[in-house]
Amino acid sequence: MAILLTGCAGFIGSHVLDRLLSMDEEVIGVDNFDSYYNPLIKGKNIEHNLNNKNFTLYNTDIRNIQEMDRIFSDNSIDTIVHLAARAGVRPSINDPMLYEDVNIKGTLNLLELSIKYNVGNFVFASTSSVYGANEKIPFSEEDNVDRSISPYAASKKACETFCYTYHHLYNLPVVCLRFFTVYGPRQRPEMAIHKFTQLIDEGREIEMYGDGSSRRDYTYIGDIVDGIVNATGIKEGYEIINLGNSDVVELRYLIRVIEQNLGKEARIKELPDQPGDVPITYADISKARSLIRYNPQVKIEEGIKRFVEWYRNERIVFQESDISEISKIIESHIPAVVQSPDEDRSKEKKYIAV
């Protein structure tokens, strides 16, 4: 039996893929190599796994129900780890319909197919953004989350509700994981830590929204992967679980830690707070500790040190004009091989572009 991993080439997904393959799990990966950021980065994120006999990659979109149905029919999928989504609070304000289409429709497709093909459990990637401008801290899974302040957050809250509906109607085991500001190697280039690091390193000005007093519960990627993998062990019920570090960091302090690791001083331009941003995120992780043995280990100082080391030594640098080159990545690493149902798929490695 296999694990279906959506968004397998992204920041979090590629790390989960590494972990699952290291555990000798069979992984069916789905990613559409969307151009939200340079798709070549995603190709490079998983390039080292393309020849692993336990990994099958499909280049397709979770919104395409016909292609997703074929993936399910061609593979024995027992667990779904659903990470694929349109991410970003601020961009969602400019294009809410896209977030509804990708996040809600895509998740509904997977829920429908889970029932059709008797999937054993469903792990869904939600977000701390669902808490909105919550004044009660730390944020608990029992808090009311009916007042989303961005379309991104609203789309994820809607997905949590649909997940519960499918659990209620069909007894599908579901775990919704609310991630709190994940960072680390391979972080998306537009995210704050990556963006600040690059701009400070290059001597360019960074834009700081607000006075720098906003606080975030930054969570290192390795700790998040621990939580995701442990959550796949829940085989009954419906659970919402926070995955954070439970240790808030002020924005000005974050910038200072980056400066220290780069050995360079930031040039800061203060700007007004942005619509959709919240003053604080802070996870109560007591449920995660007890239910899935979640125990985050990496504090912000160590995590930034690791990120800056990756940035200097391993990061992938492409120009925006290189985005068209994704077709070459697909052609060279993921040949369009679509085997008929009668062929024996157990004897050879599969790369499938559909």
pLDDT value of position 40: 86
- Distance, in Å, from the CA atom of 80 to the CA atom of 116, rounded to the nearest integer, reads 13
- CATH classification of 2-180+221-245+283-296+319-353 is 3.40.50.720, yes or no? yes
What six digits make up the tokens of 128? Answer: 């701390």
pLDDT value of position 330: 55
| Strand 215-216 to 249-250 pairing | antiparallel
Contact 241, 287 (CB under 8 A): yes
- Distance, in Å, from the CA atom of 279 to the CA atom of 254, rounded to the nearest integer, reads 15
345: Cβ contacts below 8 Å, ≥ 6 apart: 74, 339
Decide if 253 is catalytic.
Answer: no
- Distance, in Å, from the CA atom of 312 to the CA atom of 320, rounded to the nearest integer, reads 20
pLDDT value of position 316: 67
Catalytic residue among 152, 218, 282, 311: 152
Amino acid in the structure at residue 195: K
pLDDT value of position 339: 34
SS3 label, residue 177: strand
- How many Å separate Cα 88 from the centre of its chain? 11
228 phi, psi to nearest 5 deg: -65, -50
pLDDT, mean of each 10-residue run, the chain (354 residues): 96 98 97 88 91 94 96 97 94 94 97 98 97 92 94 96 98 98 95 96 93 93 98 97 96 97 95 81 97 97 97 74 57 42 39 44
The residue assigned the tokens 């979640």 is 294
pLDDT value of position 135: 85
216: Cβ contacts below 8 Å, ≥ 6 apart: 180, 181, 248, 249, 251, 254, 280, 281
- Distance, in Å, from the CA atom of 72 to the CA atom of 172, rounded to the nearest integer, reads 16
Greatest CA separation found in the chain? 63
What six digits make up the tokens of 299? Answer: 């504090």
pLDDT value of position 317: 66
147: Cβ contacts below 8 Å, ≥ 6 apart: 132, 133
pLDDT value of position 204: 96
Domain limits, the chain: 2-180+221-245+283-296+319-353
Radius of gyration in angstroms for the set of CA atoms belonging to the chain, rounded to a whole number: 20
Helices (H), 202-299: 221-231, 251-262, 286-292
SS3 label, residue 4: strand
- Distance, in Å, from the CA atom of 54 to the CA atom of 78, rounded to the nearest integer, reads 15
Contact 138, 246 (CB under 8 A): yes
- How many Å separate Cα 29 from the centre of its chain? 14
Closest by CA to 221, choosing from 57, 32, 45, is: 45
Sign of the alpha-carbon dihedral angle for 103, 159, 124, 12:
positive
Sign of the alpha-carbon dihedral angle for 242, 248, 250, 251:
negative
Q: Is the peptide bond before 138 cis (omega within 30 degrees of 0)?
A: yes
pLDDT value of position 278: 80
Amino acid in the structure at residue 264: K
pLDDT value of position 354: 41
